[in-house]
Amino acid sequence: GAGVSQSPRYKVAKRGQDVALRCDPISGHVSLFWYQQALGQGPEFLTYFQNEAQLDKSGLPSDRFFAERPEGSVSTLKIQRTQQEDSAVYLCASSGTTGTDTQYFGPGTRLTVL
Amino acid sequence: QKEVEQDPGPLSVPEGAIVSLNCTYSNSAFQYFMWYRQYSRKGPELLMYTYSSGNKEDGRFTAQVDKSSKYISLFIRDSQPSDSATYLCAMRNTGTASKLTFGTGTRLQVTL
C-alpha cells in the first residue's frame, strides 16, 4: 500500500503479558517514529529510527518498552509485562530523507490492558 | 505545564461558519508548525505545515504563526460536516531528528 500500515489494529492483553506491535512504513522512508496517544490527549513521542539506528529513545516511559527496526524498514514496538497504564493508541509515523520531513501517520494500534 | 497548550473543546459550530482553532507554546526553539486532523479511530492526517512566523492559505484552511506571542491558529472557512474531527497542533525545532510535540487536540463538531 501507499501509506503507513500497522498491525494489529486492536490488541487486548491481560496485565503482565508481553505484546508486540508492528509498523510498516512508506516504502523508501528513512525515518520512523513511534508515538503514544492516551485517550483524549495528543500523541506523545516515544522513539525515533533513522534506517536501522535508534537515534532517540528518550520518550520510552520505562525499560519495559523496547523498539527495533533491524533491517531499516519494518519496526516492532514491544511492551513487556503490560500494565493498565499502557492502555493507549500506539501510532507509527514515517518520513522521507531525514527526520525533518513531513511525518505520515499510520492508523495506530489500540492497546487495552485488562 | 505542557510545552504546547490547546483547548480540548468540544467546539460546536453550524455549517458554513468560520472556525478558529488555537495553540500556545512555551519553547522558543520551535520553528516548524503543523496542523493535523484526526478522525475517530484513524491516524493524524497533515493539513498545514508552516515555517516560522506568517500566514499560509490552502483552500478553506489558513494557518497563522505569531512567534513573538508563541501563538498559532488555524482558520477553517465555510465549515462542512465532514470537517468534524479532532484538530491537533504540532511543532518541532530545527534538529535533524525532530520529534513532534503535540497539543491535546480540539474536538470540532460542525452541525447541519
Residues B14-24 pLDDT 10s: 999 999 999 99
- Supply the mean pLDDT for chain B: 93
Q: pLDDT tens-digit profile of B43-59? A: 999 999 998 888 999 99
Q: How far off is chain B from A108, nearest CA to CA, in Å?
A: 6
pLDDT band at B97; cut points 50, 70, 90:
low
Query: How many C-beta neighbours within 10 Å does residue A76 have?
Result: 14
d(CA A57, CA A84): 22
- Per residue in B68-86, pLDDT (tens digit) is 999 999 999 999 999 999 9
B41 close to A (CB below 8 A): yes
> CA–CA separation, A40 vs B88, rounded Å?
11
Q: How far apart are CA A88 and CA A99, in angstroms?
A: 24
CA angle B79, B83, B89 (to 5 degrees): 105
pLDDT at B54: 87
Question: Who wins on pLDDT, B96 or B45?
Answer: B45
The grid coordinates listed for B56 are 499560509
Provide the percentage of residues in chain B whose pLDDT is more than 70. 98
B100 interface with A at CB cutoff 8 Å: yes
Q: In this structure, what DSSP letter does residue B84 have?
A: -
Dihedrals φ, ψ of A66, to 5°?
A: -145, 135
Per DSSP, the residues of A50-97 read: ETTEEEE-TT--STTEEEE-TTSS-EEEEESS--GGG-EEEEEEEESS
| Residue of A37, A50, A89 to mutate when probing chain B, most B C-beta within 10 A | A37
pLDDT digits (tens, 9 = 90+) for A70-103: 999 999 999 999 999 999 999 999 998 665 678 9
Which residue ranges of chain A lie beneath pLDDT 50? none
As a whole number of angstroms, the distance between CA B50 and CA B83 comes to 21
Which residues on B lie below 8 Å from A99 (Cβ)?
Answer: 95-99
